[in-house]
A and B are shown apart, each in its own frame.
Chain A
Amino acid sequence: MTSKINIEFSSISKRYRRRSILDGVDFALRDGQCSLLCGANGAGKTTLLRIMAGLEKPDHGTMNTGLGEMKWRRCKRALQQKVMYLHQHPYMFDASVRQNIAYALPPGSTPAIRNKCIDQALEWADLKALATVSATNLSGGETQRVALARAWLRTPSVLLLDEPMANMDQESRLRTHTLLWQLKDQGMAIVITSHDAMQFHSLTDRQLLLKDGKISTESRHMRAENVSTFPVGKTHRHHTA
C-alpha cells in the first residue's frame, strides 16, 4: 500500500489509575486503507480509537496531522475535523432518521441542497422507508446504517468504527459490510476494532493485534484476493451542488 499518510500517531501512552492501557503505540492512517485492530477485552482498542478521534487525551505521544507539532487542544480540534468516530452502539439523537442524517451536513447550505444530499444519503444506505421513523426506535443494524449514512454525508478523511457488527444478524452484517466497502472506495482511511478478524477479512488491508499496551503483530494481506467474498454495490457521489 503506497497511499499517502493522513495522520500519524507516535509513542501513544495512556494509563488509567495505575494500569497502563497503551504503552508507546505507533500508528499511521493512510488514505483508502482499512485497518483491523484486534485484541482481547480491555486491551485498549476503544481507548486507542478515542485518542485517534480526539475524544481522549493521551498521557504521552505525538500526533502529526499534517499541520506540524501542536498542543493537544489544537491537535484535538484538527482530529475532530478530520476524523469521525462511531461508537459500538452509535448514538441516535431523539429525532427522525432524516433529521439524524441531516445533522452531518455543515450548516449554511440552502434547504434545496440539504434535502437533495439527505435524500441521496437515505438512498445510499437503503433507509428511505425509515426516513420519518424515530431514530431511537431502530434495530442495531438500522442504527449502524444511519451512522454510516452520516459518515457518507460528512465524508471525513478517517473513519473509526468500534465493533461495528457486534450483535448483528447475517443480513445486517452483509449490508454494513457493503456500505463500508463503498466508504473505503471513496478514499477514507478506516480503522475497525473487532474480536472476530474473519468478519472483516475481505475488507481490511492489514490486521493489528493490540496486546499488553503495544501493537504486537501486523499482518498484511492482499485485498484483491478476497474482493468477491462480499458483494459491492454502486458507489454514489454526493454534494453535487
Chain B
Amino acid sequence: MESLNSATFDAINLLLTGDKQLWGTIGISFRVSTTAILIATPPSLLVAFLLAYGRFPGRRLLISVFSTLLSLPAVVVGLTLYLVLSRQGPLGDWKLLFTQSAMVMGQIALCMPILVAMGHSAFQAADRRAWETARTLGASPPRAVLTVMHEVRFGLFAVLLAAYGRIIAEVGASMMLGGNILNYTRNIPTAIALETSKGAFAQGIALGIVLLLLAFALNGLLHYFQGKGRFAV
C-alpha cells in the first residue's frame, strides 16, 4: 500500500513538473489517435448513413459484418497490418512499419467498425421525417445528410467518444505497428506496458491518470453539449 501511495505521489509530481519524456509520450498518443479519428470519421459516418437510409442488396450483410468487427482484437489488426507493411508484404516498399503512419492506419482499422456500427444505430434512432422534411423543403442530398447528422448530433458525438476512447487506450496494434520507439512511436498504452514491466510504476500511474482525466473531460464535454442543446441548422 505504501509503495502504491509513493508511486502515485511520484506520478503526480512527474505530471506537474512537466517531465519531458512523459509529456512527449502523451503528445504522440494524442497526435496519432486524433489523426486517426479525423481521417476515419467522415467516410465511416457516410457508410453508417447509407446503411441506415439506403436500400441496396447486401445491406444487411454489411451491417452484420461491421457489427462483428466491433469485437475485433487490436492484436489481430496489428498482426494483419504488420504482414502487409513488413518488407516482404504487399506494401513493404512504402517503409511505413514502425512509424506513426502505421499506428494511424492500425487505429483507423480499429475505430472504423465502431463508427460505422454505432453510427448506424444512431441514424436509425433518428426520426425518418427529418430526412423527408429536408428533401421536401428542397435540400440537396448532401445538405439533407448534414441536417440529419445535426438532428442526431449527441448520439454521433457519443459514438466519436467511444471510438476515440477505444483507440487511445489500445496496446496491441500500436505495439506491433509502432514498435514502441522512444520519442517517436511510444504512446500512452505502450509506455504503461513497458514501464510496468520495468517496475517503474510512477510513469505508468501518471500515464493512467492522463487517460482517466481524458475520459472525464470527454464525458463532461458530452454532457455540457447535451445540456446546452441548441445549435444553428
Contact = CB atoms under 8 A, between A and B. Distances in A.
Contact of A107 (B130, B143, B150): B143
A197 B140 CA distance: 36
Given A86-B136, A154-B137, 16 more contacts: A80-B136, A83-B136, A84-B136, A84-B137, A85-B132, A91-B127, A91-B129, A91-B130, A93-B133, A94-B150, A94-B230, A95-B231, A95-B232, A103-B137, A103-B233, A134-B230
Contacts of A157: none
Nearest to A86: B136
7 contacts: A53-B136, A83-B136, A84-B136, A94-B231, A96-B230, A99-B232, A104-B138
B147 A93 contact: yes
Interface residues of A, number: 26
Nearest to B137: A104
A86 to B, nearest CB: 8
Nearest to B152: A94
A91 B144 CA distance: 14
Interface string B129-165: 1101111111100010001001100000000000000
A100 interface: yes
Q: Is the interface of B mostly helix, strand, loop or mixed?
A: helix
Interface string B205-233: 00000000000000000000000011111
A150 B137 contact: yes
Interface in B41-96: none
Contacts of B129: 87, 89, 91
B207 to A, nearest CB: 39
A22 interface: no
A83 B135 CA distance: 10
Contacts of A91: 127, 129-130, 132-133
B232 A93 contact: no
Interface string B103-142: 0000000000000000000000001011011111111000
What are the nearest 6 A-B pairs in CB distance? A91-B129, A91-B133, A95-B233, A85-B136, A99-B233, A104-B137
Given A80-B135, A150-B137, A100 B233 contact: yes
Contacts of B138: 80-81, 104, 106, 154
Interface of A: 53, 55, 80-81, 83-87, 89-91, 93-96, 99-100, 102-104, 106-107, 134, 150, 154
Contacts of B143: 107
Nearest to A57: B55
A100 B143 CA distance: 14
Contact of A87 (B132, B139, B229): B132
A99 B147 CA distance: 12
A106 B232 CA distance: 16
A102 B233 contact: yes
A164 to B, nearest CB: 14
Contacts of A90: 133
B132 A55 contact: yes
Nearest to A85: B136
Interface string B165-205: 00000000000000000000000000000000000000000
The residue in B134, B135, B139, B150 that gathers the most chain A C-beta atoms within 10 A of its C-beta is B135
Contacts of B135: 55, 80
Contacts of A107: 143
Given A87-B129, A99-B232, A107-B143, A93 B151 contact: yes
Contacts of A84: 136-137
A182 B39 CA distance: 50
A73 B232 CA distance: 31
A107 B130 CA distance: 18
Most buried by B among A96, A103, A107: A103
Contacts of A103: 134, 137, 139, 147, 233
Given A87-B129, A107-B143, A95 B136 contact: no
A106 B137 CA distance: 9
B151 A94 contact: yes
B176 to A, nearest CB: 43
